[in-house]
Structure 1
Amino acid sequence: ADGIRAAGADVIDIGMVVTPMTYFAAQHLDTQCSVMVTGSHNPPDYNGLKMVIAGDTLSGADILALKTRIEAGRVASGDGAYRIADVAPAYLDRIVGDLTLARPMAIAIDAGNGVAGAFAGTLYRRLGCTVTEMFCDVDGTFPNHHPDPSQPKNLADLIALLVQGRHELGLAFDGDGDRLGVVTRDGHVIYPDRQLMLFAADVLSREPGATIIYDVKSTRNLKPWIARHGGKPLLWKTGHSLIKVKMKEVGAALAGEMSGHTFFKERWYGFDDGLYAGARLLEILSRYPDASAVLDGLPDALSTPELQVECAEGEHHALIATLGRSAEFPGATDVIRIDGLRVEYIDGFGLARASNTTPVIVLRFEADNAPALERIKSEFRRVLTAAKPGIALRF
């Protein structure tokens, strides 16, 4: 805050909040600018800034340009004002005032000791749910498990609670509350690309013909599902800031990433918000007597979770660039290069891309059956080993 004030800008300090509250505050307090200090879902020794300037989330070239300005000393000076504001009540009121559950539901939530734990229970109780909280005391050392619901191992405690039969649904959040994980009563993980199917059908019932964006890690089932429900499917790059830019460009009503970021423009502001996505999911599922049956009935495919290959800092980008130049995939029907390599086959796909946040290569595979899945994985093992002999692959 002192650094921003020293540049001549006024500061409104909103305290310890989930990242979506920061985006909300920029709208609610009419600043259109915000900075969130967060390590997101990364390990405790990571930290970073999520920045919004004049309503646009900074990414890529904009962040590099900012770095260049700072290094060159081209910064403003001044003496900005400072005040404190509590936006949590207005944020919660905005959600509760817009959403109505058709019936009360019994749910369990797992915040993984991330900051979502300070707010999620209150939100869902106000919506009429009976809520059991797990690891909702905020502790940045994450003593129970890492707050990353995209990794199945981090959902083990929630699954164990759900299968006891006292709850209809389990919701899990990442460290800064902008991503959602979902577990059914029977302990089945409903990955975010399948969640997006349910959200898309709901949004398209009110906005027929709307564009729905999904990222390169998502299932092949989304494209026909969106089209069948009257929408326009659009595949795009992974990354919350990149998705937001694309949403504005094409006027999309909804977008989602396999990592658990879901962006609602219809009835909301267009930013990613795990708590709000959970509320929208509860609104939809409360219309049915058996929430798990609805979720389990969504189209599915044999697939892997997100897989990671650790690299040295910067090496992951170079390795993906090498694959882009030299890798060949016999039998592929398409190689999509908008973000790494998404290689499409008649019976599945494989993906390799460089993470935006940590020095890892992210992989995901999907296929119609187990032999096809293994064949596609072996193709990626082949090209990765050729690009970097001796690389440690655990898939």
Structure 2
Amino acid sequence: MNPSVFKAYDIRGIVPSQINPEFAFLLGRALGQRAKSLGHTQFVIGFDGRHSSPSLAEKLSAGIRDQGIEVINIGMVPTPLVYFHTYANNIGACVAITGSHNPPDYNGFKMMLDGKAIYGESVASLYTEMQALEKQALLAQNAKETTINIIPDYISRIVSDVKLKRPMRIAIDAGNGVGGKVAPELFRALGCEVDTLFCEVDADFPNHHPDPADPHNLEDLIHHVKTTDCELGLAFDGDADRLGVVTKSGEIIWPDRQLILYSQDVLKRVPGATIVFDVKCSRHVGEQIEAAGGKALMWQTGHSLIKQKMKEVDAALGGEMSGHTFFKERWYGFDDGLYTGARLLEIVSASDNPSAILEALPQDQNTPELKVEMQEGQPHALIKVLQEKAVLPTAKRLITIDGIRAEYEDGFGLARASNTTPVLVLRFEGRNEESLRRIKAEFKAMLKEHAGIEVTI
């Protein structure tokens, strides 16, 4: 086993050198052992459309059942449906086998036990548990596996609650990810006329990569929306737990701006609710949440970390710049790009011009995530130095919950260490080009002084 596949929020690696059926079987035994110790009797598993996913699911199930835990196999589905069945039936334990938006030769496992995402040290310790089990005889308890189709239940649950004010025509781009198996049917059931782009599941991703965080991957959707009668475009990542949105004019509405819209809507029904967002989000997110009467709580980046914080503070909503959005109000609090798309349409369907609503959301001059590649371990070491020694002359305060975020009167700058790859992540926002230039210059000077690196930003 390669310890590098045990990431901060999940397990992920290259198939078959790092992730293979033998690995999946051992992982199943380790998760089954943990589930048994917590009193669980059932485990939900589902998998995405990658070539390796069915065989990994088969062996994962065998490992779990070896420990005497019954497996409910919901087949090839988007990751959110794995969470949905687990929460809706109070089962508490699940694994989604998915490579998400990673290249085709990757795969991985997103895991939940006791109703909580497995992350951090809880992922890392699986390595030693699996090593120990490798030397132990099988229990051979061979609990049963039940295979079911939950797609109709999932769609029915959403349609029973989410109501559009009028029919809409939309375009959906699933990037040949597993979201294409559910999205067209769901949005037609909500009353939409749906144009589909790349909704056939194809593990080779022949059209573009299934990652709406990269503007290049939205070009086909933008072109389609601009040249047809579609009002909006929705794009999903490889396992459909993240959403991308484009307007009629071709503007990309990034997830932090979307979160402002969802916050304003939720706060109408839950006055004073806490809403959690990550350190990469625009300063407008916190300002707009508070303006709408909510409590704004900035937290660390990472879908598992946001979910955990939401539970701690009983938040009604959470969101990340990466596109993970977590509705607790009227839903279950997990990240679900499909459900988020439904809630978006519910809000904007009240207008004859949904794009105008979205484009009116506040926005400053900003950069996307800028990544500086470094050696393994270097980004975290650098951040520690910056948190202790850095001086940013015009910043009004520094936030160090995840990297170093400098808040200014007219913008923000962020440097943080990625928890998934050895890169330093930078992001900047300014009220205008002049503000943005000044904030970038301060960060460039800081990185040169404390790391000796020249960055182009």
Aligned twin of 1:133: 196
Does 2:163 align with 1:163?
Answer: no
Shift of 1:363: 1.7
Does 2:124 align with 1:69?
Answer: no
Decide which of 423, 429, 437 is 1:360's aligned counterpart.
423
Decide which of 87, 94, 97 is 2:150's aligned counterpart.
87
Structure 1: state its 5+ residue gaps.
none
Aligned twin of 2:86: 26
Aligned twin of 1:100: 163
How many percent identity over aligned positions? Answer: 56
Shift of 1:365: 0.7
Distance 1:10 1:200, change over 3 A: same
Does 2:254 align with 1:254?
Answer: no
Decide which of 49, 64, 71 is 1:11's aligned counterpart.
71
Decide which of 208, 212, 220 is 2:275's aligned counterpart.
212
Shift of 1:347: 1.4
Aligned twin of 1:52: 112
Aligned AA (2:374):
C
Deviation string, structure 1 residues 249-285 (Cα, Å, up to 9, x no partner): 0000001111111100000000010000000000111
The answer to whether the 8 A contact 1:117-1:135 is kept is: yes
Answer with 344-353 or 280-289: which moved more.
Answer: 344-353
Does 2:385 align with 1:325?
Answer: no
Shift of 1:5: 1.5
Shift of 1:394: 4.2
Aligned AA (1:319):
L
Answer with 213-222 or 43-52: which moved more.
Answer: 43-52
Distance 1:307 1:90, change over 3 A: same
Aligned twin of 2:295: 232
Shift of 1:37: 1.1
CA distance in 2, matches of 1:321, 1:47: 31
The answer to whether the 8 A contact 2:447-2:453 is kept is: no
Answer with 317-326 or 17-26: which moved more.
Answer: 317-326
Aligned twin of 1:189: 252
Aligned AA (1:376):
I
Does 2:208 align with 1:145?
Answer: yes
Shift of 1:379: 2.3
The answer to whether the 8 A contact 2:275-2:297 is kept is: yes
Aligned AA (2:187):
Y
CA distance in 1, matches of 2:66, 2:384: 40
Q: Secondary structure at the match of 1:109?
A: strand
Shift of 1:165: 4.4
CA distance in 1, matches of 2:196, 2:373: 33
Decide which of 97, 120, 123 is 1:37's aligned counterpart.
97
Distance 1:270 1:46, change over 3 A: same
Aligned twin of 2:435: 372
Aligned AA (1:205):
K
CA distance in 1, matches of 2:278, 2:414: 11
The answer to whether the 8 A contact 1:150-1:306 is kept is: no
Structure 2: state its 5+ residue gaps.
1-60
Aligned AA (1:135):
F
| Normalised TM-score (structure 2) | 0.83
The 5 Å alignment of 1:305-324 reads 305-324=368-387
Aligned twin of 1:287: 350
The answer to whether the 8 A contact 1:151-1:305 is kept is: no
RMSD across aligned positions (CA): 1.8
The answer to whether the 8 A contact 2:173-2:234 is kept is: yes
The answer to whether the 8 A contact 1:40-1:175 is kept is: yes
Aligned twin of 1:112: 175
Decide which of 308, 311, 335 is 1:245's aligned counterpart.
308
Aligned AA (1:228):
A
Q: Secondary structure at the match of 2:346?
A: helix
Shift of 1:13: 1.1
Shift of 1:292: 0.6
How many residue pairs get matched?
A: 394
CA distance in 2, matches of 1:72, 1:289: 61
Decide which of 312, 335, 343 is 1:272's aligned counterpart.
335
Aligned AA (1:4):
I
Decide which of 286, 296, 300 is 2:359's aligned counterpart.
296
Shift of 1:48: 1.8
CA distance in 1, matches of 2:420, 2:153: 31
Q: Which consecutive aligned stretches of 4+ in structure 1 deviate over 4 angstroms post-superposition?
A: none
The answer to whether the 8 A contact 1:114-1:177 is kept is: yes
Aligned AA (2:261):
L
Shift of 1:387: 4.2
Answer with 33-42 or 308-317: which moved more.
Answer: 308-317
CA distance in 2, matches of 1:266, 1:194: 19
Decide which of 410, 430, 445 is 1:382's aligned counterpart.
445
Distance 1:140 1:310, change over 3 A: farther
CA distance in 2, matches of 1:197, 1:303: 16
Distance 1:324 1:141, change over 3 A: farther
CA distance in 2, matches of 1:317, 1:143: 36
Q: Secondary structure at the match of 2:344?
A: helix
Distance 1:314 1:48, change over 3 A: farther
Q: Secondary structure at the match of 1:47?
A: strand
